[in-house]
Chains A and B, each alone.
Chain A
Amino acid sequence: MAKIVIDGVEHEVNPDNNLLQECLSLGLDLPYFCWHPSMGSVGACRQCAVMQYRDADDKEGMLVMACMTPAADGAIISIEDEGAKSFRSEVIESLMTSHPHDCPVCEEGGECHLQDMTLMSGHNYRRYDKKKRTHRNQYLGPFVNHEMNRCITCYRCVRFYGDYAGGTDLSAQASHHHVYFGRHEEGVLESEFSGNLVEVCPTGVFTDKAFSENYSRKWDLQTAPSVCVGCSVGCNTSPGERYGSLRRTVNRYNSEVNGYFLCDRGRFGFDFVNNSDRLLEPVQRVDNTGELLADDQVKAFIKEFKADGTIGIGSPRASNESNFALRAMVGEENFYAGYSDVEHESMQVLLDLASDTAFHSPSVREIEMADAVLILGEDVTNVAPRIALALRQSVRNKAKDLADESRIPQWQDSAVRELAQHDLSPLSIISSAVSRLDDVASDRVIESLSVVAAMGHQIANKISASAPKADCSAAHDQVIEKIVEQLKAAKRPLIIAGNSNGSEVIRAAANIARALYDFKDNSAIDLCLLVPEVNSVGMSLMTNAKNPLGAALKKLHDGTAKRVIVLENDLYRRASRAKVDAALTAATKVLVLDQLPTSTTANADVVLPATAFSEHEATYINYEGRAQLSFQVHQCKKQAQPSWRWLCDAEHVDDLVERCCNEVPGLARLREVLPGENPFIAGMKVPRQSHRYSGRTAMTANVNVHEPKQREDKESVMSFSMEGMPAQKDASVHAASWAPKWNSNQSISKFQDEVNGELKQGHPGCLLIERKDSSGSYFKAGSDSIEPSANQLRLVFSYQIFGSDELSARSKPIQARMTDAYIGLSPQDAQKRDLRQGDVATISPLGSP
């Protein structure tokens, strides 16, 4: 630690950081624009000027930019010096020269970093009275609005979009007073992280287009801490509701998971909650028409399903509590997996590996630390986008090493990039098709899935002779040798695979990690195994390995089981149409709980409406086995309620969590994600509404002029009103960050133990999967038993960020970016079949699925 003096007060700081970062870590107010906690310093805006003194005798001092000055031991600086204050005031006056006075109609208003910094810097009168610089705005697609006149040229947008996220279609154009941030021509922003521009831009140049169509001020949104249900990463989010509809989702900082950024599916995929097709009332099918059910009829149905002969099918997109309630109702032996049999088989392999002492399942932050990465057979960008963003940071570790060698601080972003140029840490990708990470890949091999697995086994064998050899052609010997050397030389190697296309690739990936474990004297190796859905791991931990979906469908078909309860799941996406049809037709009663109509609800006898993620409190377990708590944001519409509430008598989520801990071995520590018993000031609840929430007395005046009593939340530590005390002690109930003078998302630094650190009294979730004391053994290399004939093709499933996830695909902004179902072919295969780009084709399966 170093000691520095700021305005006469001595502080201990980290000398590896710059003065701005350390001032913010200390909780001091120092304005800035271009600096961003995850993107480092470029010294562009000159807003963070402070006066630095040579020693105690120096009374003159010298203006320095805090973001570009190391927090060196002995430094003496002043934020409050009149000269520094005056400089900052003049800088912002200059930045504001052409900024429009449109705050009252600007969507950033009220959460605008520029507003905050203007006030903080003391600029309050525009002396410039000439014509302002103006720009044309561009259409940038369905996610982001463009209003260039508001730009203060901080360069954050292009630094995030290009440097951080790898996008190439947003750039700084023109020069002097006319610098323009946009695309070379109008069009959809191509990056799958474009929505982050809304939060990265310190003012209102880039705003949320979906939110814009149904806008509300930040302080009028009812919010609560939530978890994204778009994939298995479990990014932390803060959804906002107003007048009964969910309006937007913004990032919620979690040091270990998503940090400051979300993918576009996570940010814009929430809209299915507002879908006009939502199932909102219990319905019974009578002669192909829906008939509403009264409470006592629902109870009678549930009672009927409690009898012998009922089986339950769980859901990887439903919460732990709902899956558990169904399992408890039908019995563990009658609870079946809610995903395909192929996925079930690979999940068993995956769970076994998750507890192996040879492996460590890395968090997103840990993935950023990897210095050599091998991706085997998985399209990470489409399956777990936030991890792809982390991988883009991991390849920069080489640049950081070079910077250390040259004694350049790592926060000197521009200098470090200039130094390293295109010198990246190794990232090798072996898969069946191109991917969005290819531009940062050191090696890229496109092969059939069986060759991908064989190459994986071969790499393992080359690292450790104990790993079994694979039957692999010599064509790839050179690249295999190169990858082997890179992994062996790495301090923190990382192997990534997933279950998109069966378990053989997972086995090969595990063999590589195990070989590295042997090579590196038994230190656990990072093995990241991706699954597609938000609670695939949670549901798997509750499901008996002998209970795949196929067995459930067979039981219904052959009459061994009479009734089935399907939890938040469209079985037609999980098993073949013929098998599902046969099972549902044979069942005497089919009960389905879901949020939206599906092919399965269409075949149900009774459909019960289930609440969506923002309408209930729930826990989910992400790909690494991290349990996280998601709070209810707003109230259920009509009669929809959490699935577990239809199925059991539990009063409270906590009761079910407690039962999960006691009855499901893999979930024994789930209770640790619940807020502590007495974390709140004077026993007061945490308000979901801000202290500036408006319209409470008027928002239902069209119905009744008397203000209704605010609904009490008897289940959670949060209240459905502005009454209570915003929690600052327990971060798990920290929905929207706000601090005096800091209305934008930049206020998060006030809640971190240090910039980029954990939240104070942090709650990044709870890792549930316990490691065994011993490590397992190598998998035998499989062989490809299927040999296609001349007209046949090997099938590989392609997951798409926009469209493959069942619920977000019902969200309007996401639909604007979706494609039809497609079959991807090489030019040779297409030519052979006389197929052209965009032709409609028929695909025929060979053999039974």
Chain B
Amino acid sequence: MVCIRRGIKAGTALLHCGDGNISPADFSGLIEVEKSATQTTSRGIGNLIVSDFHEEEINS
């Protein structure tokens, strides 16, 4: 899922691997990100409070 945050340096992507669905070992250094046709997720990012606490809501 995409989580847009003002507090991330442009040019940097922050990857949280969830509970084992994505292995961090499958990635290193550089990545490309694009919109996926699939739009189904189980939990979403609604619970993401930690680290986002001091940011305003971004709905871009």
Residues of A at under 8 Å CB distance from B?
168, 188, 190, 192, 340, 342, 379, 381-382, 432-436, 438-439, 446-449, 570, 572-577, 579, 598-599, 786, 788, 791-804, 806, 809-810, 816-831, 833-849
Contacts of B22 in A (CB 8 A): 821
A802, A833, A837: the one contacting B58 at CB < 8 Å is A837
A576, A822, A833: the one contacting B1 at CB < 8 Å is A822
A795 touches B31 (CB 8 A): yes
B30 touches A846 (CB 8 A): yes
B4 touches A846 (CB 8 A): no
B8, B30, B39, B48: the one contacting A433 at CB < 8 Å is B8
Bound CA span A190–B12, Å: 26
| Residue contacts A-B, CB under 8 angstroms, 11 given | A340-B24, A433-B5, A448-B11, A795-B15, A822-B16, A827-B4, A829-B13, A840-B41, A841-B33, A844-B31, A844-B32
B2, B17, B26, B31: the one contacting A830 at CB < 8 Å is B2
Contacts of B13 in A (CB 8 A): 793-796, 823-825, 829, 843
Contacts of B43 in A (CB 8 A): 818-820
A434, A797, A841: the one contacting B17 at CB < 8 Å is A797
Bound CA span A347–B3, Å: 30
A575 touches B25 (CB 8 A): yes
A841 touches B34 (CB 8 A): yes
Residues of B at under 8 Å CB distance from A?
1-36, 38-55, 58-60
Contacts of A810 in B (CB 8 A): 19
Most chain-A Cβ atoms within 10 A of its Cβ — which of B2, B20, B38, B48? B2
A837 touches B3 (CB 8 A): yes
B30 CB to closest chain A CB (Å) equals: 4
Bound CA span A340–B27, Å: 12
Bound CA span A446–B45, Å: 22
A804 touches B51 (CB 8 A): no
Task: Name the 9 nearest CB pairs between A and B, nearest first.
Answer: A434-B7, A821-B18, A824-B14, A793-B13, A809-B19, A846-B30, A798-B16, A826-B10, A822-B3
A435, A795, A821: the one contacting B28 at CB < 8 Å is A795
B54 CB to closest chain A CB (Å) equals: 6
Contacts of A572 in B (CB 8 A): 20, 23
B1 CB to closest chain A CB (Å) equals: 5
Contacts of A828 in B (CB 8 A): 10
Contacts of A792 in B (CB 8 A): 30-32
A439, A575, A796, A801: the one contacting B12 at CB < 8 Å is A796
A577 touches B8 (CB 8 A): no
Bound CA span A394–B13, Å: 31
Contacts of A797 in B (CB 8 A): 14-17, 24
Interface of B is mostly: loop
> Assuming the A-B contacts A798-B15, A843-B33, are A838 and B51 also in contact, with contact meaning beta carbons closer than 8 angstroms in the complex?
no
B58 CB to closest chain A CB (Å) equals: 6
Contacts of B49 in A (CB 8 A): 188, 190
Contacts of B55 in A (CB 8 A): 434
Most chain-A Cβ atoms within 10 A of its Cβ — which of B1, B33, B58? B33
Contacts of A837 in B (CB 8 A): 2-4, 58-60
B3 touches A599 (CB 8 A): no
Query: Besides the contacts A340-B24, A825-B33, what 11 more A-B pairs have beta carbons closer than 8 Å?
Result: A577-B23, A788-B30, A796-B12, A797-B15, A797-B16, A809-B20, A820-B42, A820-B43, A836-B2, A840-B40, A843-B13
B31 touches A381 (CB 8 A): no
Bound CA span A791–B33, Å: 8
Contacts of B54 in A (CB 8 A): 434, 436, 438-439
B59 CB to closest chain A CB (Å) equals: 6
Contacts of A168 in B (CB 8 A): 53
Bound CA span A157–B9, Å: 36
B21, B29, B42, B59: the one contacting A795 at CB < 8 Å is B29
A432, A836, A840: the one contacting B8 at CB < 8 Å is A432
> Assuming the A-B contacts A793-B33, A798-B15, A824-B3, are A840 and B39 also in contact, with contact meaning beta carbons closer than 8 angstroms in the complex?
yes
Bound CA span A434–B1, Å: 18
B1 touches A192 (CB 8 A): no
Contacts of B25 in A (CB 8 A): 340, 573-576, 579, 849
A823 touches B60 (CB 8 A): no
> Assuming the A-B contacts A570-B20, A818-B19, A819-B46, are A841 and B9 also in contact, with contact meaning beta carbons closer than 8 angstroms in the complex?
no
Bound CA span A585–B20, Å: 21
Bound CA span A168–B53, Å: 9
A188 CB to closest chain B CB (Å) equals: 7
B30 touches A796 (CB 8 A): no
Q: In the complex, which residue of chain B has the Cβ closest to the Cβ of A832?
A: B10
Contacts of B33 in A (CB 8 A): 793, 823, 825, 829, 833, 835, 841-844
> Assuming the A-B contacts A433-B9, A574-B25, A840-B41, are A846 and B32 also in contact, with contact meaning beta carbons closer than 8 angstroms in the complex?
yes
Contacts of A433 in B (CB 8 A): 5, 7-9, 12, 14, 51
Most chain-B Cβ atoms within 10 A of its Cβ — which of A577, A792, A826? A826
A806 touches B8 (CB 8 A): no
Contacts of B52 in A (CB 8 A): 434
Bound CA span A844–B26, Å: 9
B5, B19, B36: the one contacting A841 at CB < 8 Å is B36
> Assuming the A-B contacts A820-B42, A827-B4, are A573 and B50 also in contact, with contact meaning beta carbons closer than 8 angstroms in the complex?
no
A788 touches B7 (CB 8 A): no
A559 CB to closest chain B CB (Å) equals: 22
Contacts of A803 in B (CB 8 A): 16, 18-19
Bound CA span A786–B5, Å: 24
